[in-house]
């Protein structure tokens, strides 16, 4: 691994559908790509092509059959494929932020706590962590009257903005973004685009799946189709 912050080498992922008699469904076929610091690589494939699967594999949520997923972490390189769970959790805490399409939080935990939690996990003092969380919630347009409430009952758009806020507040060096602007109005999309561009400017490596052509053109330094990343 050279200057890349994230490198995916010959990754294959097949799902086995046990309820379909063990039917095997290949999704990723020896995919290889790399993302350098300060770069935003956007995957342009249609739905069902495996973009979310690749992002989940890069975050360690999915086990792949073959290949390597190399991430820069604490002045070293970690292969997420085969890494022990404790190391994967450490990589997530320090180096890799992941915006999924769904907000998963513990019920009854306030929105402010949800957004501040990644900073607290990094050892940021409570007062500073909550100040930064408040500033991020203001930036993504979540009204103060909602900060003390759990986000589990919020609208889809509000939950997505909180999903983004809790990742971007920590300024991870590597960002995995799965449709970060889905379910958002135009003004909210513009805010998220600005956050992504700012992250890129500070040197973050960004790998994103984005269907919106306008968002893609606004954030991408390179656009790729997974089929072009697969070995022949």
Question: Please, is 61 exposed, middle or buried when counting C-beta atoms within 10 Å of its C-beta (0-12, 13-18, 19+)?
Answer: middle
Q: Within a domain: residue 91? A: yes
Q: Within a domain: residue 97? A: yes
> Which distant-in-sequence residues (6+ apart) come within 8 Å of 220 by Cβ?
40, 41, 42, 208, 210
Q: Within a domain: residue 74? A: no
Amino acid 104: pLDDT: 82
pTM: 0.94
Q: Within a domain: residue 7? A: no
Tokens at residue 216, please?
């893609």
Q: What is the pLDDT of residues 25-67, one digit of tens each?
A: 788 999 999 999 999 999 998 888 889 999 999 999 999 999 9
Q: What is the pLDDT of residues 61-120, one digit of tens each?
A: 999 999 999 999 988 999 999 999 999 999 999 999 999 988 888 788 999 999 999 999
Whichever domain contains 134, its CATH number is 3.40.50.300
Domain coverage including residue 205 = 37-60+84-225
Q: What is the pLDDT of residues 110-165, one digit of tens each?
A: 999 999 999 999 999 999 999 999 999 999 999 999 999 999 889 999 999 999 99
Query: Based on the structure, what is the number of domains in the chain?
Result: 1
Amino acid 1: pLDDT: 41
Q: Within a domain: residue 126? A: yes
Query: Which backbone phi and psi does 97 adopt, to 5 degrees?
Result: -105, 145
Q: Within a domain: residue 10? A: no
Q: Looking at the predicted structure, is the pLDDT value of residue 198 above 70?
A: yes
Q: What is the rounded distance in angstroms from the CA atom of residue 232 to the CA atom of residue 220?
A: 26
Q: Within a domain: residue 146? A: yes
Q: What is the pLDDT of residues 160-193, one digit of tens each?
A: 999 999 999 999 999 999 999 988 999 999 999 9
Q: Within a domain: residue 214? A: yes
């Amino acid at each position: 691994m050279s200057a890349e912050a994230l490198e995916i080498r010959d990754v294959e992922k097949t799902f086995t559908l046990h309820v379909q008699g063990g039917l095997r469904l290949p999704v990723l076929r020896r995919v290889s790509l790399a993302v350098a610091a300060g770069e935003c690589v956007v995957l342009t494939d249609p739905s069902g092509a495996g973009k979310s699967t690749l992002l989940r594999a890069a975050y360690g949520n999915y086990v792949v059959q073959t290949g390597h997923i190399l991430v820069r972490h604490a002045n070293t390189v970690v292969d997420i494929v085969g890494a022990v769970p404790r190391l994967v959790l450490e990589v997530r805490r320090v180096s890799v932020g992941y915006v999924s399409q769904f907000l998963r939080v513990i019920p009854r935990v306030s929105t402010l706590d949800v957004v501040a939690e990644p900073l607290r996990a990094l050892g940021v003092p409570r007062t500073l962590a909550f100040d930064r969380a408040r500033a991020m919630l203001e930036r993504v347009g979540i009204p103060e009257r909602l900060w003390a409430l759990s986000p589990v009952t919020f609208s889809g758009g509000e939950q997505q903005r909180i999903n983004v806020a809790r990742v971007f507040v920590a300024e991870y060096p590597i960002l995995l973004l799965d449709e970060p602007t889905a379910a958002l109005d135009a003004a909210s999309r513009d805010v998220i685009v600005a956050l992504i561009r700012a992250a890129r400017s500070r040197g973050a490596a960004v790998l994103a799946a984005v269907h919106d052509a306008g968002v893609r053109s606004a954030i991408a330094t390179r656009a790729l189709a997974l089929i072009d990343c697969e070995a022949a």
